Homo-oligomer: A and B are copies of this chain.
């Protein structure tokens, strides 16, 4: 069998290592779960400002109430209460392109604008954002990270993340670019576009150095905490059976015309 090289974790008789740190002696008691998640995925500890922003972004994504993915998890528990992991996994599976892809898509889109600008100066970023919005509009696609179905006049998480970035200090070029993107979209479409929280989290993750395709994974870490809480609530005060009954009494069965 060929050797298998890994850099994440390993166990010996005396120790467990994660990214080369001794979990028991160096990490437990010294860092929180957020810092551990950063270390696991990034391969290095975050600085204090990085940890502030990373934790805040994760917390903003952990739970938004009874969303479709949460309903899927809780309905899975209805049929299989013996397997908490199955219900949580069902909720993880719905964390796809529609709701949580926004974080990844925004991170990628902002990175492309920065590359296009060739500089992180404000005017260059503003120009590149305008050009990107133009291209996206021309192609009939949507600009990611802007607008929200519920928080129509402003996503409370967005304002908070920008406020925390000031507290954290340092430079957050993807976050700056996202503001230029908003301005460019508002100018192009002639209406206001609040930056949504999922998009801002994408900008934060990108500024922390995570590749866009890893951003969706980070969302899953945050979501798992919300899903465990939701599945636990389902075990105490279930909604699954009642929801099923409500659905059942509102079904219109129309087997024809046939779907093909």
Chain A interface residues toward B at CB < 8 A? 1-20, 22-25, 27-29, 31-37, 40-44, 51-52, 55-56, 58-60, 62-69, 71-73, 75-76, 78-90, 92-100, 150-153, 156-157, 159-161, 163-164, 167, 197, 209-210, 213-214, 216-218, 220-222, 224-226, 228-233, 235-237, 239-244, 246-248, 250-256, 258-260
Contact = CB atoms under 8 A, between A and B. Distances in A.
A65 B229 CA distance: 27
Contacts of A152: 13
Nearest to A20: B255
Given A8-B65, A13-B153, A33 B225 contact: yes
22 contacts: A5-B251, A5-B254, A6-B65, A7-B258, A8-B63, A8-B233, A9-B65, A10-B251, A13-B152, A14-B151, A16-B197, A31-B59, A32-B33, A32-B55, A37-B228, A40-B225, A43-B256, A66-B248, A71-B243, A84-B216, A221-B228, A243-B247
Given A9-B64, A9-B226, A33-B225, 12 more contacts: A2-B242, A7-B259, A8-B226, A15-B156, A18-B63, A33-B33, A36-B62, A43-B260, A68-B244, A72-B72, A209-B260, A217-B228
Nearest to A239: B4
Most B C-beta atoms less than 10 A away, residue of A2, A19, A94, A258: A94
Chain A: interface secondary structure? Answer: helix
A73 to B, nearest CB: 8
B7 A254 contact: yes
Contacts of A7: 233, 253-256, 258-259
Nearest to A249: B1
Nearest to A93: B86
A256 to B, nearest CB: 6
Contacts of A76: 68-69, 72, 90, 93-94
B79 A59 contact: no
Contacts of A243: 4, 68, 71, 247
